[in-house]
């Protein structure tokens, strides 16, 4: 299974010449297990995410995502724009949310889009000039404007210690089943995002995360900050990241439905197992 996941990651990180990548053209898109909106959401895709369409049916497109998730989105939510996807001018947000405007002003028009953390925008100029407004190109090809303070002009991977501090920036973000954006995360979507901050690609779902070859098992009495904690009775149903002193951060629902810090001692989430990064495997999962 690990070998399959690695093949998927490598495929999308190095898209073959001649393959026309499809990109998500809405801020956040639900990925359904069936081609209809009254079915289960398996995950979400974000603005600019690269996907491959494997089937189309009655206004729906079946996509495969970078992390191996396959599901259905409305065909109107994907667009072809190879020059955008391959551009060297893509830069990520550093704000939890960012408004994109049609003019260099917050008035009189409302935002064209409000995109979540984890998305990238295509800049006309990648050097931070210090000016308030930055010109960008949308997936549609339209020109638009975003405020300079929302953009990370020189992104770099975080250390594990930095990620533990950074994770607290999301406290209070609502829990959302299938969520993987600052609009709302589920437990494994939140963990996956934090590992991506370190440049590490791990599976989407908690059960698969526990099986991931990046990690080694660790006993509860030996926990260290940064270890993954898995919860459940018969099977793994929840995941969080250990902060130390018996506390962990996670996106859960049993106290309040949001990203929060909880105590292992409450027993509200039955501890099942734990995992630690295997340093010798980092290169195999790093972008």
Residues with active-site annotation: 187, 238, 250
Contact 114, 27 (CB under 8 A): yes
Return d(Cα 226, Cα 161) in angstroms, integer: 8
Residues 6+ apart with CB under 8 A from 251: 173, 175, 179, 185, 186, 187, 189, 190, 258, 259, 260
Contact 14, 85 (CB under 8 A): no
Return d(Cα 111, Cα 99) in angstroms, integer: 6
Return d(Cα 169, Cα 166) in angstroms, integer: 6
Sheet holding 271-277, edge to edge: 215-217, 271-277, 228-231, 238-244, 247-252, 258-263
> ∠ CA 255-262-93 to the nearest 5 degrees?
95
Counts of helices then strands in the chain (DSSP H, E):
6, 21
């Amino acid at each position: 299974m690990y070998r399959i996941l690695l093949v998927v990651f490598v495929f999308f990180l190095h898209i073959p010449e001649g393959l026309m990548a499809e990109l998500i053209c809405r801020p956040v898109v639900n990925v359904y297990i069936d081609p209809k909106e009254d079915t289960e959401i398996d995950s979400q895709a974000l603005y600019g995410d690269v996907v491959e369409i494997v089937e189309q049916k009655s206004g729906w497109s079946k996509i495969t995502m970078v992390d191996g998730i396959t599901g259905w989105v409305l065909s109107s939510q994907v667009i072809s724009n190879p020059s955008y996807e391959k551009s060297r001018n893509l830069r990520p947000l550093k704000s939890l949310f960012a408004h994109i405007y049609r003019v260099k002003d917050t008035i009189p028009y409302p935002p064209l889009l409000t995109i979540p953390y984890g998305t990238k925008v295509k800049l006309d100029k990648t050097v931070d000039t210090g000016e308030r407004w930055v010109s960008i190109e949308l997936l549609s090809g339209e020109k638009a404007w975003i405020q300079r303070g929302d953009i990370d002009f020189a992104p770099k991977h975080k250390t594990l210690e930095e990620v533990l501090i950074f994770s607290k920036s999301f406290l209070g973000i609502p829990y959302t089943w299938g969520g993987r954006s600052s609009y709302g995360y589920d437990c494994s979507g939140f963990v996956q995002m934090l590992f991506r901050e370190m440049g590490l690609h791990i599976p989407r779902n908690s059960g698969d995360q526990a099986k991931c070859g990046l990690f080694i098992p660790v006993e509860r009495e030996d926990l260290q900050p940064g270890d993954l904690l898995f919860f459940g009775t018969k099977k793994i149903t929840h995941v969080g990241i250990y902060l130390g002193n018996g506390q962990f951060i996670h996106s859960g629902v049993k106290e309040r439905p949001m990203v929060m810090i909880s105590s292992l001692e409450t027993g509200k989430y039955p501890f099942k197992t734990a995992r630690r990064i295997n340093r010798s495997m980092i290169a195999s999962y790093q972008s």
